[in-house]
Amino acid sequence: MPTFSVKHLMALVVCCCLGVAAQAQDIHFSQYFSSPLTLNPALTGSFNADFRVAANFRTQYFKNDWNSNNATYMTYGASVDGSFFRKKLGADHFGAGLQFYSDRAGDGGLSTTAISASIAYTKTVDKYERHSITLGMQGGIIQKRIDFTKLTFESQFNGVDGFNVGPNGENFAKSSMIYPDVSIGLLWRSRVGKKHNLYLGGAYSHLNSPTESFLGAENKLSPKITAHGGMEITLSKYISITPGFMVLSQNTASQINIGTALAYKLAEASYLYVGAWYRVGDAVIPMVGYEIKGFRAGVSFDVTTSDINLATNSKGAVEVALVYTHNQDPPRSINPVKFCPKF
């Protein structure tokens, strides 16, 4: 049986801190721009095509030296949304979509599953159709479940080399919960000159302040505030860059992502993307992507730079994003107020 050292104790403390943070903060993707409906409901239908399908997968392993199994953190999601009445309304349009995500956190079997529907309306605000504003709303249900038999508690710690198997002596009110969830969002898009598209958005999640607790306590889910923005800059016929940022704030947790990606046109309807993002104080995130005829794939890896390395054994998260947009408008007919940055 392995010995329980100070190193193990420190890792345990870090994991406990991670559990507290996970309770206070929603899921997130490093490639947040490839998961539009989890980012901002105002992004629903914001593209120059008939419909869009997105799929995201993220996984990370945390070492657990006193147990043969490593704790796995895994998140996956999918969404589909469409743009409607584009021909009847001109630059204005409606958007509607559905999204689903599931998240599993560690050995404890804590899982979160959510499904929601969103709607949005985009209105141009000038006669030249260079600027638009979009209002979006999202509503759905969230289920959280936990398997207490997979958790270890203070009463099971033997003080020497780990945890004993047996009753934990704890009493819990329930092992699962379901509650409604509502979010709203805004998005501003502008064409600046002939080579610059600018966007700025914000979202307010958990507008209804739902109650969540496995212990029967009156614990309100804290609202999450999201701000994001960026620019698409055309440098030449073949090259463009898309710098951007995202800021999240929920309860005492916060997150800032900044970075950029470079797009190189390989052939007609074929692009190579290379970029890097920085999650401030936590990780550097290199990314590579490829697009052909409406299909786009991106792969990223979180290179952890914070003290969380103790728990992750210097292994960052791997993330894969797949997006398909159907019947995209040809480049010359794309309306600048409908553009949706890809990376």
Residue 245 is predicted with a pLDDT of 97
Residue 23 is predicted with a pLDDT of 43
Residue 47 is predicted with a pLDDT of 84
pLDDT per residue rounded down to tens, the chain (343 residues): 344 333 343 333 333 333 333 344 688 899 999 999 999 999 999 888 889 999 999 998 655 544 445 557 899 999 999 988 877 777 788 999 999 999 988 765 789 999 999 999 999 998 888 899 999 999 999 999 988 777 766 666 666 666 666 666 666 667 889 999 999 999 999 988 778 899 999 999 999 999 887 777 778 889 999 999 999 999 999 999 999 999 999 998 999 999 999 999 999 889 999 999 999 999 999 999 999 999 999 999 999 888 776 656 656 789 999 999 998 776 544 455 555 666 6
CA–CA gap between residue 27 and residue 284 (Å, rounded): 18
CB 155: neighbour CB atoms within 10 A?
A: 12
pTM, two decimals, is 0.82
CA–CA gap between residue 16 and residue 135 (Å, rounded): 39
CA–CA gap between residue 204 and residue 111 (Å, rounded): 23
Domains for the chain: give ranges and CATH numbers.
6-338 (2.40.160.40)
Residue 6 is predicted with a pLDDT of 37
Residue 205 is predicted with a pLDDT of 96
Residue 160 is predicted with a pLDDT of 67
State which H helix or E strand residue 7 sits in: helix 6-24
Contact status, residue 11 vs residue 18, Cβ threshold 8 Å: no
**E strands within the chain?**
51-62, 71-84, 93-105, 110-124, 131-145, 176-192, 196-205, 224-234, 239-241, 244-250, 253-267, 270-279, 283-292, 295-301, 303-304, 318-326
